[in-house]
Amino acid sequence: MAEGWIKIHRQLKDHWLWKSERRLKWWIDILLTVNHSDSKVLIKGNLIECKRGQSIRSLDTWAKDWNVSKGAVRDFFRLLQSDGMLLTESLQFTTRITICKYEDYQTEINGKETQKKRTKNGKETFSIPKQECKECKEGEQIIKGWREDFNVYLSECKSAYKTFMEDENLMKEQTKLNPGLNLRLTLEKGYINFWGAKYGWENKKSSKSVNIDWKKTITNSIDVKMNRVYLTRQELAL
């Protein structure tokens, strides 16, 4: 069991997480699980960097710990990401999550200041993080949102694309609605040629949306004529 502590403020009782005992427990588990210092993790011969405030664990592992389906974990992570609390990044064999503004939850104690004193003077705070930070105090970590950082946008895009492609019910539904279309190649073409590229990012930035409705974005890409790839006669005959 990892040692240490995290800071929790009474303000948590006013947050939407408080209304769900299960989600609240999951969020606190995430805060207790992520790294308190930078490290590297070896997974199937691949050395993966895991910084402070990050965790390298598969969705299956989270699902097993919480005794839920992988889909439930994915939905919870997506919910946290939409509120600017968490970032997810799909890696080979695993998933990396990053707590936005992790320092709000876990700050190293100055060697000359005891934890007891810090608690007494009331300086320990719990702030619900925002993914987009416009003004930060000196020394505070700046976490950019998808509008400011292409890599943040691309991480969201990759995660949404993978989730869409792995959703069997959604794929069956879209296949039925688009007869004769090679749905997977069509989606892949839209992702590679547009939404997963910088001009796709520039297109999204031109909108006034705070958060991206990725399901709608990916679904709409099916209707773009230049993305559409049709099944061959041989494929249709199968």
| pLDDT for res 91 | 82
| pLDDT for res 146 | 85
| pLDDT for res 88 | 87
Buried b (16+ CB within 10 A) or exposed e, 33-61: ebbbeeeebeeeeeebebebbbbbbebee
- Domains belonging to the chain, first-starting first, are 10-120 (1.10.10.10), 150-237 (no CATH)
pLDDT per residue as tens, the chain (238 positions): 455 677 777 777 888 888 888 999 999 999 888 888 888 888 777 788 888 889 898 899 999 999 999 889 989 998 888 888 888 888 877 888 898 877 766 654 433 444 444 444 433 333 334 444 334 444 444 456 888 888 889 998 999 999 999 999 999 999 999 999 999 999 999 999 999 999 899 988 888 777 889 999 999 999 999 999 998 888 777 6
What distance lies between CA 45 and its chain's CA centroid? Answer: 24
Query: In sequence order, which residues have a C-beta less than 8 Å from that of residue 201 and are 6 or more positions away?
Result: 146, 150, 153, 154
Q: Which two three-digit tokens encode residue 58? A: 């598969």
| pLDDT for res 234 | 82
Cα-Cα-Cα-Cα torsion 149, 152, 158, 163, nearest 10 degrees, comes to: -140
From CA 101, how far away is CA 94, in angstroms rounded? 23
| pLDDT for res 3 | 57
What distance lies between CA 184 and its chain's CA centroid? Answer: 23
| pLDDT for res 152 | 87
| pLDDT for res 4 | 62
Q: What is the pTM of this model?
A: 0.46
Angle separating helix axes 150-166 and 214-221, nearest 10 degrees: 70
| pLDDT for res 112 | 40
| pLDDT for res 1 | 45
